[in-house]
Amino acid sequence: TRADDEVVDGEYGQLAAEVPPGQNYLWHTSRYGGQNRFEWRSRYWTFLLRLDPNRPSSTVQAQPGPWVGPFHWENIELRDGTERARRLRIGEMLRLMSFPDDFELIGTRADAQRQLGNAVPVELGKAVSRALLEQLGYINKNMRQVLYA
């Protein structure tokens, strides 16, 4: 089941559905195989951006416009049979940001996306903290143990 706010619709809804995984609006320029609707590099890179299931995700936008991705790589089919790109679900954004699956966000979908878009991915925070603690001598790099002074 899907929520209506997952559907990428409106003026560029069909174009978004035609963008292949890992591509963005540039698909719809004269240099690629889509409809020739946009000038080369005339938009921000996240416009109509689709994730690629085999590559790392791009940044989750805190305040995306209606056609700003990243969007899921799979389309959804509407009741009339047309396909549309879909926005990421809250659980998918949590997973991309390496939050635990049971982590709860309070508020609307827009509130959750703003919180996640402004957050540092949990695992990235851990890696940076660990590297800093190693450099300061609080963690032994080889043993990964905390050294107390």
pLDDT in tens, 19-46: 999 999 999 999 999 999 999 999 999 9
Pairwise CA distance, residues 83 & 147, whole Å: 57
Pairwise CA distance, residues 110 & 107, whole Å: 8
DSSP 8-state class, residue 147: P
Q: What whole-number percentage of the chain has pLDDT above 70?
A: 94
Find out whether 82 and 7 touch, Cβ atoms under 8 Å.
no
11 torsion bin: left (phi>0), alpha (psi -120 to 50), beta (else): alpha
Predicted TM-score (pTM) of the model is 0.85
Pairwise CA distance, residues 29 & 31, whole Å: 5
